Amino acid sequence: MAEVLLFHHALGLTEGVGAFADGLRRAGHTVHVPDLYEGRTFEDLEAGVGYAQEVGFDTVAARGEKAAEGLPEEIVYLGLSLGVVPAQKLAQTRPGAAGALLLSACVPETAFGTAWPEGVPVQVHGMDADPYFVGDGDLAAARELVAGARDRELFLYPGSAHLFAERGTPEYVPEAAALCAERVLCFLDALKG
pLDDT digits (tens, 9 = 90+) for 75-99: 999 999 999 999 999 999 999 999 9
**Residue 107, pLDDT score:** 96
Pairing relationship of beta strands 99-103 and 76-80 according to DSSP bridges: parallel
Q: Which of 2, 46, 14 is nearest to 166 (CA)?
A: 14
Range of the domain at 157: 3-190
CA distances, 83 to each of 71, 119, 175, 177, 180 (Å) = 18, 22, 23, 17, 17
Residue at 73: amino acid letter? E
Name residues whose C-beta falls within 8 Å of residue 13's C-beta, 6 or more positions apart in sequence: 33, 35, 36, 37, 39, 41
Whether the pLDDT of residue 161 is over 90: the answer is: yes
Within 10 angstroms of residue 4's Cβ, the number of other Cβ atoms is 24
Place 169 in a pLDDT band, splitting at 50, 70 and 90: confident
Q: List, for residues 16-30, the tens digit of each pLDDT value.
A: 999 999 999 999 999
Please report the beta strands in the chain, taking only residues with DSSP state E, as ranges in sequence order.
Answer: 3-7, 30-32, 76-80, 99-103, 122-127, 152-157
pLDDT of residue 25: 98
In this model, does residue 174 exceed pLDDT 80? yes
Q: In the prediction, which pLDDT does 192 show? A: 67
Per-residue pLDDT of 95-109, as tens digits, reads: 999 999 999 999 999
Contact yes or no for 8/36 (Cβ under 8 A): yes
Number of structural domains (the chain) is: 1
CATH of residue 61's domain is 3.40.50.1820
Burial class (CB in 10 A: 0-12, 13-18, 19+), 47: middle
Residues with Cβ within 8 Å of 149's Cβ and at least 6 positions away in sequence, in order, are 116
pTM: 0.96
Residue 193 has pLDDT above 60, yes or no: no
How far is the C-alpha of 41 from the C-alpha of 186, rounded, in Å? 30
Mean residue pLDDT of the chain comes to 96
What's the pLDDT at 124? 98
Average pLDDT over residues 114-119: 94
CA separation for the pair 162, 154 (Å, rounded): 16
Burial 106-118 (b: 16+ CB within 10 A, else e): bbebeebeeebee
Residue with the bigger pLDDT between 192 and 56: it is 56
